Structure 1
Amino acid sequence: NADFSSMKLIVEDIFSPTDTNDDPFAPLEKLFNVENIRTKLQQLQNQIIVQRREGAEIPSAGHYVFRGSPGTGKTTVARTMANILHALEVIASPNLVETSGLNLTGQYLGQTKKVCEEKLDEALGGILFIDEAYELGNGMYGKEAMTTILEAMTSERHSKLVIILAGYPHELDVMLNRNAGMKSRFTNYFDFKDWEADDCIQFFKHLATENGFEFDHSCVDKAKLNELISLKGWGNGRDVSQLWKDATQIRANRVVGDTNLMDRVILKVDMQAALDQMLNNRRTPNAPVMQLAQPEGNVRTDSNEDNENAPNFSKLCCEDISKETSDEDNSDEDDEDDPPRDDGVTDEQWNELQIEKANRKQKLKNSTKEEKKNIIRTEQEIQAKIRQISPCPAGFRWIKVSTGWRCSAGGHFVSDETLEKCFSS
């Protein structure tokens, strides 16, 4: 029997979930920390075998919550689950439809329901995977998204559909707590752990073996690897895969002139250079302004007729900058008109927002004139970007909170993860 305690996660470009195998559970042997998933799926398989033998109705697969950071294998496991559940004849199709909470939330009345229904129908008979699902319920039309999904979960048409919500643990819990009916229908929770340095090194060894390279763990600077893991934006398996690709490219540049070279070896100098390269990209620069690249496509905008009378966000942004930079001495007083609380904003969200508003005001008050200008300039750079992907219809200022940015009235939220995806270079 396989020792599943030693399983290691491989990223999506290493394992293709479309690979066929007589054992539907075989793909899970290539994954890391999925023993709980395997156990639950085996329990479901046993239940199906017994119920078929006794002539009882085959149970539904239920719905799942995948909690974890980016790059921990959530999407890969979802694709594998689709094949397994289809092999067990629990779902009619191995089809997995991927979307996000942000993409399921429309920008005008009626759009959200239509978008949700289209995705639900597309996934009919298979699995609907909603990444960053904590975006559901945010904003003016977020409640409509949750209601539409809940209606589908209780309808006969979608009774065989499996829905997976994925994202950060705390944010998912907050989202589900907004709707007791929805929370009660997600009874299967899988937690995906962040990678530690030893996990990364083991994965490097796996990749070396897989690609015919010699590799020794001593060539990895563990201190630098731990620093990289501690920095914002760490992508777990995704980043480890990129590090490996960078190291092999650096090695190629090193040996290209040596036509007699026979050994395929990743040296310490190769891995060191790859680590330094990624660290330099991730470390916060000394400049006070956050540099965000312009998006190249698929950025959501208010181009529909319903939003013709919406505020001019570019104008609002310029007005904000003019207002705040014209008199830096009073900028801490001008930062908010404290709009009333939006409907659907939880006490937890509202309290956090008020605390962060107060913290910002105090920070500006304690700053020098030059520091104020830098803080305001940095904020406005970010706010201009946020308004491109998720404009607040009322034009309220965005406030930095624990995992993203929320508008002053609380009803609109953009996660750090979403912002990074849209504007990463």
Structure 2
Amino acid sequence: MTPLDRKQVSKKDEIILQQLEVIRTMTENNLNRTGADFWGTPAAPGEAPAAPQADQPKADRPGNTASSTGNDATEPPEAETPPPPEKIEDLQAELEGYIGLAPVKKEVKNLINMVTVHRMRKEQNLPAADLSLHMVFSGNPGTGKTTVARIMARIYHSLGILSKGHLVEVDRSGLVAGYVGQTALKAKKVIDSALGGVLFIDEAYALNGGAENDFGQEAIDTILKAMEDHRDDLVVIAAGYDDLMDRFIHSNPGLESRFNRFLHFADYTPDEMMKIFEMQCKKGCYTLEAEAAGLVRGFIEEENTDPASFGNARGVRNIFEQILVNQANRLAAMEQVTREDLMSITPADVQAARGMESAAPVRESPAE
């Protein structure tokens, strides 16, 4: 090989490496974007998708969620000024934009109307019964429980029920300690971080361990007391599987008396899951080829034999990510990658994700 030939090969490798880096970066950005508000509304026609806000501090983002799944509870800064209430019409429009959830949307609308009338009666000095706004969300994973809890916090803020409108998400590990006397302190710290907003307890039934040395009951007692002491500025939403949540709530008279609103989140239908996939394509500026769309639907139906383990919308997200990885593998084997190539999801990408065939042959290294 002449020096000129080596120089041309070297230049070609440099171009290929540059293309691979572009593909890697775009794939990584789009995978990160799918993790945020998976049930959210797509961009309006002709409108560019919103940036993922990767460099924006979490506490500064709309609908901020503080999550506590261990010893640390993420607390909103005390000096931070809460965001102004959003227009209730905008929040209702956002909720309506979510795919599926028809019964949930109806119940939320009923609740908004009830709270609105309750507030109007108080403004007119008319008797108004105390409202219990604590709720139980039941359903399989990936059915939108956390997403709806987040928008409920914002709705309550808009209606003047909550002073901040943020969401603090926690599970058993964030509330229960391993030693006597520590659970109440740990739970109180999480509760304090949720004041002015919604405390969302995922898999709440796990608090009722039932063992002799289990401290879950102490956490339940602490939460029940807080619900009474801060009933004017704290809403608690307990979430989990249907049967387990039903047994949990009815295992304790205190829980039964405070949680009297139940919202069931049904599993998504194949049509709804396909719409969720197509929405993610639109958000990420991907074009799903017609033949590929049929293969995606088959992929979803094939994987969704058990909605609880598949995870509904979460399962769709996993499939979407698998397809993007295989799209990247296919593009990496191409010498020239156009903008259209970067946007296209082809049948080969879906087939490769399903393990049906390789998306593209492996490129051999240039011969010396």
Is the TM value for this pair above 0.5? yes
Name 1:141's counterpart in structure 2: 215
Larger mean CA deviation between 189-198 and 86-95 belongs to: 189-198
> SS of the residue aligned with 2:328?
helix
Give the Å deviation of 1:158. 4.5
Name 2:81's counterpart in structure 1: none
Name 1:62's counterpart in structure 2: 133
Q: Specify whether residues 57 and 126 from structure 1 end up closer, same or farther in structure 2 by C-alpha distance, changes over 3 A only.
A: farther
Q: Distance in 2 between matches of 1:184 and 1:276?
A: 51
> SS of the residue aligned with 1:80?
helix
Name 1:259's counterpart in structure 2: 337
Name 2:280's counterpart in structure 1: 207
Give the Å deviation of 1:60. 4.2
> SS of the residue aligned with 2:163?
coil
Q: Specify whether residues 222 and 205 from structure 1 end up closer, same or farther in structure 2 by C-alpha distance, changes over 3 A only.
A: closer
Q: Specify whether residues 13 and 116 from structure 1 end up closer, same or farther in structure 2 by C-alpha distance, changes over 3 A only.
A: same
Name 1:413's counterpart in structure 2: none
Name 1:234's counterpart in structure 2: 310
> SS of the residue aligned with 1:195?
coil
User: 1:125·1:158 contact (CA, 8 Å) conserved in 2?
Assistant: no
Please tell me whether residue 151 in structure 1 is matched to residue 225 in structure 2.
yes
TM-score (norm 2): 0.65
Name 1:44's counterpart in structure 2: 114
Give the Å deviation of 1:208. 2.2
Give the Å deviation of 1:13. 4.1
Q: Specify whether residues 102 and 174 from structure 1 end up closer, same or farther in structure 2 by C-alpha distance, changes over 3 A only.
A: farther
Q: Specify whether residues 180 and 222 from structure 1 end up closer, same or farther in structure 2 by C-alpha distance, changes over 3 A only.
A: same
Q: Distance in 1 between matches of 2:106 and 2:114?
A: 12
User: 2:167·2:200 contact (CA, 8 Å) conserved in 1?
Assistant: yes
Cα deviation, 1:204-240, whole Å, max 9, x if unaligned, reads 2222233333223743254542331125731211221
* Counterpart residue identity of residue 210, structure 1: K
Q: Distance in 2 between matches of 1:262 and 1:211?
A: 13
Aligned pairs (5 A) from 1:349-388: none
Q: Distance in 1 between matches of 2:141 and 2:62?
A: 19
Give the Å deviation of 1:193. 1.4
RMSD of aligned Cα (Å): 2.7
List alignment gaps of at least 5 residues for structure 1. Answer: 1-9, 278-425
Name 2:95's counterpart in structure 1: 28
* Counterpart residue identity of residue 229, structure 1: N
Q: Specify whether residues 145 and 171 from structure 1 end up closer, same or farther in structure 2 by C-alpha distance, changes over 3 A only.
A: same
Q: Distance in 2 between matches of 1:97 and 1:260?
A: 43
Q: Distance in 2 between matches of 1:191 and 1:162?
A: 18
Aligned pairs (5 A) from 1:34-183: 34-56=104-126, 60=131, 62-138=133-209, 139=211, 140-155=214-229, 157-183=230-256
Larger mean CA deviation between 173-182 and 242-251 belongs to: 242-251
> Residue 63 of structure 2 is aligned with which of 18, 21, 26?
18
Structure 1 stretches of 4+ moved >6 Å? none
TM-score (norm 1): 0.57
Q: Distance in 1 between matches of 2:246 and 2:328?
A: 46
> SS of the residue aligned with 1:24?
helix
Aligned pairs (5 A) from 1:260-299: 260=338, 262=340, 264-276=343-355
Give the Å deviation of 1:252. 2.7
Q: Specify whether residues 274 and 238 from structure 1 end up closer, same or farther in structure 2 by C-alpha distance, changes over 3 A only.
A: same
Q: Distance in 1 between matches of 2:253 and 2:312?
A: 32
Q: Specify whether residues 74 and 275 from structure 1 end up closer, same or farther in structure 2 by C-alpha distance, changes over 3 A only.
A: farther
Q: Distance in 2 between matches of 1:202 and 1:18?
A: 24
Name 1:188's counterpart in structure 2: 261
Q: Specify whether residues 124 and 262 from structure 1 end up closer, same or farther in structure 2 by C-alpha distance, changes over 3 A only.
A: closer
User: 1:24·1:84 contact (CA, 8 Å) conserved in 2?
Assistant: yes
User: 2:63·2:167 contact (CA, 8 Å) conserved in 1?
Assistant: no
Q: Distance in 2 between matches of 1:85 and 1:119?
A: 20
> SS of the residue aligned with 1:190?
strand
Larger mean CA deviation between 168-177 and 47-56 belongs to: 47-56
Q: Specify whether residues 226 and 181 from structure 1 end up closer, same or farther in structure 2 by C-alpha distance, changes over 3 A only.
A: same
